[in-house]
């Protein structure tokens, strides 16, 4: 890309520096890739991790070729459905986004994508997600369809409750049920504990993320846990993350994982504790860095689950 072309590119706030979307993607595709947040992959990872954790939790007979096949299948599904969710959210929130400094560079308020084009792109991504869902078996398909109502309702939660991040947690961690449902063809206590405890993980990391927008949100009347908790955020994060770690321990016990799993979860707990110590809720840049560190946290839990199965 020439220097002149680079100057003409609208770089979305929070985009990963040097993202391939701006460096290599065709110009005609770029607004839609930004709409799907391909320049900010952390959200796709946060959607994917509960899926992969659930797959590992269910793999009591060891990882087979089918498990290895499902890893990229869930990866494609996470990319498609995270993109679809963001596209839908941006359609619903287009007026709010135009009023907030960090979000007014998004493709719809920036005028890069028309409303009609956004709806068409949303349908395309949903079709990709449907193609992935159809690979997972009848029971998992039914479980997957159960998330649609929560996905559709999420953009409106910030208008009616000071805890929209709790609804996001219920929506974003649905994969904690999907992996187990795909492998086992049923649901039991272990994935349910994983799902409900992961809600507190999302409450933590998305509260940190929401602190980037708290001033603008207060001005336009959008609610968030960042505004609800205010200066009580750090103690609340400690409670949220502690409940999540307890849930991971209980889920591992219900799945009869080996002792190495609990060592891994202890390390994961240290990682979350470091987030609480490190974050400064009045430093937007640091909030974003701490939020993104949950990608590494996901790897710690995933490796712990695999080692826990191997030592079960």
- Average pLDDT of the residues of the chain: 91
CATH of the domain at 282: 1.10.357.140
Torsion of Cα atoms, 215 then 216 then 220 then 221, to 10°: -50
The helix/strand/coil state of 231 is: helix
pLDDT of 185-202, one tens digit each? 999 999 999 999 999 999
Q: What's the CA gap between 206 and 226, in Å, rounded? A: 9
pLDDT of 86-103, one tens digit each? 999 899 988 887 887 778
At 19, the pLDDT band (50, 70, 90 cuts) reads confident
pLDDT of 35-76, one tens digit each? 999 988 899 999 999 999 999 999 987 778 888 899 999 999
- Is the pLDDT reported for residue 178 higher than 50? yes
For 44, the domain range is 3-310
- What integer pLDDT is reported at residue 1 of this predicted model? 38
Number of domain units in the chain: 1
- What integer pLDDT is reported at residue 102 of this predicted model? 77
Helix locations, the chain, DSSP H? 3-8, 20-23, 30-35, 42-58, 65-92, 94-99, 115-133, 138-145, 148-160, 164-172, 175-184, 189-210, 214-220, 225-229, 233-254, 259-278, 284-292, 294-310
pLDDT of 66-77, one tens digit each? 888 999 999 999
């Amino acid at each position: 890309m020439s220097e002149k072309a680079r100057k003409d590119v609208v770089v979305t706030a929070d985009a990963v520096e040097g993202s391939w979307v701006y460096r290599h993607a065709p110009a005609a595709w770029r607004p839609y890739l930004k709409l799907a947040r391909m320049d900010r992959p952390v959200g796709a990872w946060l959607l994917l991790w509960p899926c992969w954790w659930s797959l590992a939790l269910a793999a009591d007979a060891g990882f087979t070729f089918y498990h290895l096949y499902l890893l990229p299948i869930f990866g494609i599904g996470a990319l498609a459905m995270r993109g679809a969710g963001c596209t839908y959210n941006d359609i619903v929130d287009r007026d709010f986004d135009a009023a907030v400094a960090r979000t007014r560079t998004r493709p719809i308020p920036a005028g890069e994508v028309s409303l009609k084009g956004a709806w068409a792109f949303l349908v395309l991504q949903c079709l990709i997600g449907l193609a992935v869902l159809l690979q997972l078996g009848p029971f998992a398909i039914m479980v997957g369809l159960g998330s649609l109502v929560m996905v559709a309702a999420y953009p409106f939660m910030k208008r009616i409750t000071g805890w929209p991040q709790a609804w996001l947690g219920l929506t974003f961690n649905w994969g904690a049920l999907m992996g187990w449902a795909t492998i086992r063809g049923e649901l039991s206590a272990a994935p349910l504990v994983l799902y409900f405890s992961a809600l507190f993980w999302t409450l933590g990391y998305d509260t940190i993320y929401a602190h980037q927008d708290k001033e603008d949100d207060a001005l336009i009347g959008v609610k968030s846990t960042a505004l609800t908790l205010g200066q009580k955020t750090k103690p609340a994060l400690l409670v949220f993350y502690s409940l999540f770690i307890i849930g991971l321990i209980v889920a591992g016990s219900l799945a009869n994982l080996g002792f190495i799993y609990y060592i891994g979860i202890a390390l994961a707990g240290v990682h979350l504790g470091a987030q609480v110590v490190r974050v400064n809720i009045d430093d937007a840049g640091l909030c974003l860095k701490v939020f993104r560190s949950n990608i590494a946290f996901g790897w710690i839990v995933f490796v712990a689950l695999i080692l826990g199965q191997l030592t079960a």
